Amino acid sequence: MHLLRFFGLVIIVLLMTALTPFSPMGIPSVRIAHATTRTVSLVGYYSTGWNNTPANPTITITQGDTLVITTSSGDTFQHHFFVDVDGLGMTPNCSVDKCASIIPPTATDTLTGFTMGTYTYYCEYHPAMKGTFIVQPPPDFSITSNPSGLTMNQGTFQTSTLTISSLNGFSGTVTLSPPSVPAGISATLNSSMVTIPAGSSKAIALNVTIGASTTPGSYTVSVTGSGGGNSHTANVSVTVVGPDFSISLDQSSLSIVVGSSGNATVTLTSQNGFAGTVNLAATISPSGPTASLTPAMVSLTSGGSATSRLTITTSSGLYSSTSPGSYTVTVTGTGSPSLSHPASLSITVTSLSLPAQGIPASTLIIAGVAVLAAIIVVAVVVVRRRPGK
């Protein structure tokens, strides 16, 4: 008795396995094709069209539908209904086109395998008996996120709204998967299931939380909705930013006369909750002027700012290291753990200005000496020429 039960169970399992559709990988697949029956009746009149309507009825089905069409002759003439799939007009190719039976008598045919698009249907024998045949997309839904991107500080929380919308007359329940999240980020939905009437939409909140130690960078949070044999995924991009600071100068250029100095103000501002010490350093290219910062170390509080005074000094004289010309000063702020930002300033060093008509003192001295020497020479000559007594 037990042996019979065992073999009975084995047979049941084998039958269930044989009847279950499998994917190429051997995993049970889910049939998602739209499958309903659309019933249409047409009565043919060679002079006034199908159903005695000169415009001929427009037939609309949904992709995946089975079309059951009943045709009959209202004028006793022979008619042959077909859908022109290959686009070649009134000559049917029933291996490609979707053909019904020739009437009379009355015929009922089942037509399947329509792909989305707009076609023309005909009577093979009468040109006036043609109309529009539409295969519309099957019912479906969409899932979108707003905003689709979030920029978040470490240790913070934000929400994106997921909207599930009916398409092509879809109505039913959509089940949402738990959010797929990377390490360091958590996310929840305020509902895991929504019921959508045809032509409407429903909104669900996606709550995203960033861990306090999550590494700054770009991430993606995904939610998949399934319903009515359809499945769609919405992605929300998440940019995680950590504490930081900015650095700026109160001017972009500075002009200094050789032998003098100039000043600029450096401003540092906390961003994303940065709090700590920032070390400042200045470099000048090419070398020549010198730069100093007072103070060279500033402390920032979260959300605060601080300043430092930048002084550029030039030297003059025979052994001066500063020549007139253009220079670039770069001030770099460095903070923990590995933050570094520069700010630049253009410097123009000019030479001393001289009076427009002025005569150098050395020239005046040389001229005076020359005049004095000439006077002495003249005096000596005059004395020597004077006759003796």
In tens, the pLDDT along 105-143 reads 999 999 999 999 999 999 999 988 999 999 999 899 999
What DSSP string describes 110-158? Answer: EE--PPSEEEEEEETTEEEEEEEEEEEPPPEEEEEEESSEEEEETT-EE
The pLDDT tens digits of the residues spanning 208-232 come to 999 999 999 999 999 999 998 999 9
- Taking residues 372-378, report their average pLDDT: 70
Could you give the C-alpha distances from 183 to 51, 187, 209, in angstroms and in order? 65, 11, 11
Cα dihedral: 207, 208, 211, 215 (round 10): 180
State the pTM of this model: 0.60
Q: Quote the pLDDT of residue 352.
A: 76
Report which of residues 195 and 316 the model is more confident about: 195
- Taking residues 372-377, report their average pLDDT: 71
User: Would you say residue 381 has pLDDT above 70?
Assistant: no
CB neighbours of 288 closer than 8 A, spacing ≥ 6? 314, 321, 322, 323, 325, 327, 349
Domains belonging to the chain, first-starting first, are 37-136 (2.60.40.420), 140-241 (2.60.40.10), 244-350 (2.60.40.10)
Residue 333 is which amino acid?
Answer: G
- Binning pLDDT at 50, 70 and 90, where does residue 205 land? very high
The counts of H helices and E strands in the chain are 2, 26
Q: Give the range among 88-92, 171-175, 253-257, 381-385 with minimum mean pLDDT.
A: 381-385
